[in-house]
Amino acid sequence: MTPAARVQAAIEVLDAMTGWLAAEQALTRWARGARYAGSKDRAAVRDHVFSVLRTRRSCAALGGGETGRALLLGHLRAEGADPEAIFTGEGHAPTPLTADERAAGRAPTPEEARDLPDWLWERFETALGAQADAAAQALRHRAPVCLRHNPRMKPLSQVIEILLKDGVATIPVAQVDGALHVTEGARRVAQSDAFREGHVELQDASSQAAMAALPVPDGARVLDFCAGGGGKVLALAAWHEGTWFAHDAAPDRMRDLPARAARAGAEVTLLDAEAVASAAPFDLVLCDVPCSGSGTWRRAPEAKWALTPERLHALCYTQREILEQAQAFVRPKGLLVYTTCSVLAEENAAQIEGFQAAHPGWTREDTRRWPVSDTGDGFYLATLRKG
Ligand SMILES: C[S@@+](CC[C@H](N)C(=O)[O-])C[C@H]1O[C@@H](n2cnc3c(N)ncnc32)[C@H](O)[C@@H]1O
């Protein structure tokens, strides 16, 4: 495909999403009907679509509208590219720009340039103060790809070499032991020997730093109460000796966990709700709760446009319910750990304050926040000890 044909494909994918078809679904549907597209074409179309979604509001201002064509036009203008050279109508290129399209578009206002809905900007300011703008700006750019080294396998220096042989270049992340920032070949990670043999896992550096901050006693019985794919419990199992349990209200979300655990040489027991109750109490219960994902919106940029105050309210309700359920499974003097990949105060500090108000016997031992940065997502951690 030519660069212009890739732009046309991205326009079609964005138009298919206007009925709220998710980006991944719209891309898959397009790829099924575009057998001629190679992996580089698919990657380029995906990059266009995700770049637009991260910066949708400023692209709409620059392109003069919300259609796929206007958004791509705005994106090209933002990148300093010459839209006339792409919108040629030749081959599979987008048809030439009309006079109206040439005249449409303007520089984004400061509000539009943040690429956040206004109601969320207010929440960013409340939660992050002077750092709010940096967070909004960071969310406009592509996310870093990070790996977690498994110290139970080969030493880190050897693993870096093994990855390099498979075309994956990495550099260690400062201040996060064992975290590697992929600088080249991110799309080759899943096929690399180092990944298939369990030397590394894909995991954001902030999540790794948060798990590394947990005081897990030797031999602890640990329950990952919202385990999903198990990234958090697998990180803990790689660093500590303990007995590891995983639960999720949607058990299907744990379907990859046994294979991931086997690859990492870890043993994790999956528990349904009844089994959690009979296996309790635990020394540490981790609640990596469902959240707005506001610290990770550069990976899932549709979410920042789809979130509503009502949906946020419902998420906060679920988070409270989860804490309430999970606290009952912690042994006396044990730890309850609450984490989100959100930067919003109502999902973070306010939840912990609410919990402590309802449960005065618990002491807060630690609270940490990771900003959205070049190497990691926005992340929040609070550790509470039962009285
Ligand atoms: C943020 S995700 C977890 C990600 C996972 N810990 C990881 O590192 O990959 C939140 C998970 O909480 C689960 N969940 C939602 N409500 C729950 C509940 N009431 N009890 C337990 N898990 C719940 C969801 O199914 C989802 O898999």
| Buried-state track 250-282, b at ≥16 Cβ within 10 A, e below 16 | eeeebeebeebbebbebebebbeeeebeebbeb
Q: What is the DSSP string of 191-219?
A: GSHHHHTTSEEE--HHHHHHHHTS---TT
> Going by CA atoms, what residue is nearest to atom 17 of ligand 1?
249
Q: Which long-range contacts (CB under 8 A, 24 or more apart) does 276-279 make?
A: 276/223, 276/225, 276/245, 276/247, 276/329, 277/329, 279/221, 279/223, 279/245
- Residue 19 is predicted with a pLDDT of 63
> Going by CA atoms, what residue is nearest to atom 12 of ligand 1?
226
- Residue 129 is predicted with a pLDDT of 96
- Residue 270 is predicted with a pLDDT of 98
- Residue 124 is predicted with a pLDDT of 98
Task: Report the separation in Å between the CA atom of 292 and the middle of ligand 1, taken as the mean of its atom positions.
Answer: 12
Task: Report the separation in Å between the CA atom of 224 and the middle of ligand 1, taken as the mean of its atom positions.
Answer: 9
* CB contact at 8 A, 195 and 185: no
Q: What gap in Å lies between CA 386 and CA 376, rounded to an integer?
A: 30
The mean pLDDT values, 10 residues at a time, for the chain of 387 residues are 97 86 90 93 96 98 97 98 97 97 97 98 97 97 97 96 97 96 96 96 98 96 98 97 98 97 96 98 98 97 95 98 98 98 98 98 97 94 97
- Residue 375 is predicted with a pLDDT of 87
Task: Report the separation in Å between the CA atom of 318 and the middle of ligand 1, taken as the mean of its atom positions.
Answer: 10
Predicted TM-score of the model (pTM): 0.95
| Ligand 1-lining residues (CB < 6 angstroms) | 225-229, 231-232, 248-250, 253, 288-290, 318, 321-322
Kindly list the catalytic residues: 341
Fold (topology level) of 146-203: Alpha-Beta Plaits (3.30.70)
Q: What gap in Å lies between CA 64 and CA 306, rounded to an integer?
A: 21
Closest-lying ligand 1 atom to the alpha carbon of residue 227: 6
Name the residue ranges covered by the structural domains of the chain: 3-113, 146-203, 213-385
Mutate to test the pocket of ligand 1, among 204, 226, 257, 338 (most ligand atoms within 8 A of CB): 226
Token couple for 47: 């990059």
Q: Which long-range contacts (CB under 8 A, 24 or more apart) does 72-80 make?
A: 72/7, 72/10, 72/11, 72/14, 72/48, 73/97, 73/101, 73/105, 74/105, 75/48, 75/51, 76/7, 77/105
State how beta strands 282-288 and 268-270 pair.
Answer: unpaired
Closest-lying ligand 1 atom to the alpha carbon of residue 341: 1
Task: Report the separation in Å between the CA atom of 365 and the middle of ligand 1, taken as the mean of its atom positions.
Answer: 23
> Going by CA atoms, what residue is nearest to atom 2 of ligand 1?
290
- Residue 21 is predicted with a pLDDT of 74
pLDDT (tens digit per residue) in 42-73: 999 999 999 999 999 999 999 999 999 999 99
> Going by CA atoms, what residue is nearest to atom 3 of ligand 1?
228
Q: What gap in Å lies between CA 158 and CA 147, rounded to an integer?
A: 14
CA atoms within 13 A on the CB side of 75: 25
Class of domain 213-385 as given by CATH: alpha beta
ipTM (interface pTM): 0.99
Annotated binding site for S-adenosyl-L-methionine: 248, 272, 288
Task: Report the separation in Å between the CA atom of 320 and the middle of ligand 1, taken as the mean of its atom positions.
Answer: 13
- Residue 22 is predicted with a pLDDT of 87
